[in-house]
């Protein structure tokens, strides 16, 4: 009996020790798997977050680009409408001034007739005063006379109505006489000067 007793405890101890070690090994293996799982999960989460950050950065860049384009389009629209308004105003004033050009022509003719006549100085001065006031007002709005007499013929400013033979070489190709005065408004021709060109 004592042999059995002795044998049993000796056999049980290694079994218990073996069982503990197996459990410890299993726990250690579980811990290792858990650590691996945690590492894998955290790695996946980091990758997912990085991908999301890249997507958000791309969206932010696209939104910024769209905003800049929209602002540029709006700025162009604002400039274009302002330019169109100015053109409308200048066209309206151009038409008004064009309508007054025959009145200027009549004033010039009246002054020429009064210079050649023996009428009183009051008529001459009155007509000249009206002409000068009208001309000064129109000049303040951008009207300018096209200087033509003695100038080289320029198709951008002059309209030839006749040609006249001249003896002097320096007068050839130049304006010999002005039939009708030409005008520019803010640098743009609104009526060509009708001229006689020397040939």
Chain segment 94-114, per-residue pLDDT in tens: 888 899 999 999 998 888 888
Residue 27, both tokens: 């726990």
Give residue limits of the domains in the chain: 2-141, 143-199
Q: Quick check: 33 pLDDT over 70?
A: no
Residue 18 has a pLDDT of: 52
Q: Quick check: 167 pLDDT over 90?
A: no
Between the alpha carbon of residue 58 and those of residues 45, 50, 54, 62, the distances in Å are 20, 12, 6, 6
Compute the distance between CA of residue 61 and CA of residue 71 in angstroms, rounded to an integer: 15
Q: 76-98: b or e for each residue (b if 16 or more CB lie within 10 Å)?
A: eeeeeeeeeeeeeeeeeebeebe
Considering the entire predicted model, what is its pTM? 0.56
| CATH number attached to the domain at 143-199 | 2.30.22.10
Average pLDDT over residues 11-29: 57
Q: Which residues pair with 159 in a beta bridge?
A: 194
Q: Among residues 193, 185, 101, 199, which one has the least CA distance to residue 147?
A: 193
Chain segment 171-182, per-residue pLDDT in tens: 888 898 899 999
Q: Quick check: 146 pLDDT over 90?
A: yes
């Amino acid at each position: 009996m004592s042999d059995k007793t002795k044998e049993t405890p000796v056999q049980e101890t290694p079994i218990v020790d073996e069982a503990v070690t197996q459990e410890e090994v299993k726990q250690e293996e579980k811990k290792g798997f858990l650590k691996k799982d945690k590492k894998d999960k955290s790695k996946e989460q980091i990758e997912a977050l990085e991908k999301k950050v890249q997507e958000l950065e791309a969206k932010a860049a696209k939104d910024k680009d769209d905003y800049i384009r929209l602002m540029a389009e709006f700025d162009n629209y604002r400039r274009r409408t302002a330019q169109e308004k100015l053109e409308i105003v200048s066209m309206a004033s151009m038409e008004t001034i064009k309508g007054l050009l025959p009145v200027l022509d009549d004033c010039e003719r009246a002054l020429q007739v009064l210079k050649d006549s023996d009428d009183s100085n009051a008529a001459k001065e009155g007509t000249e005063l009206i002409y000068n006031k009208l001309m000064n007002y129109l000049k303040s709005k951008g009207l300018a006379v096209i200087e033509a007499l003695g100038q080289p013929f320029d198709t951008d400013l002059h309209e030839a109505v006749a040609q006249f033979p001249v003896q002097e070489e320096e007068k050839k190709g130049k304006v010999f006489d002005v039939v009708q005065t030409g005008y520019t408004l803010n640098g743009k021709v609104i009526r060509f000067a009708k001229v006689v060109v020397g040939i």
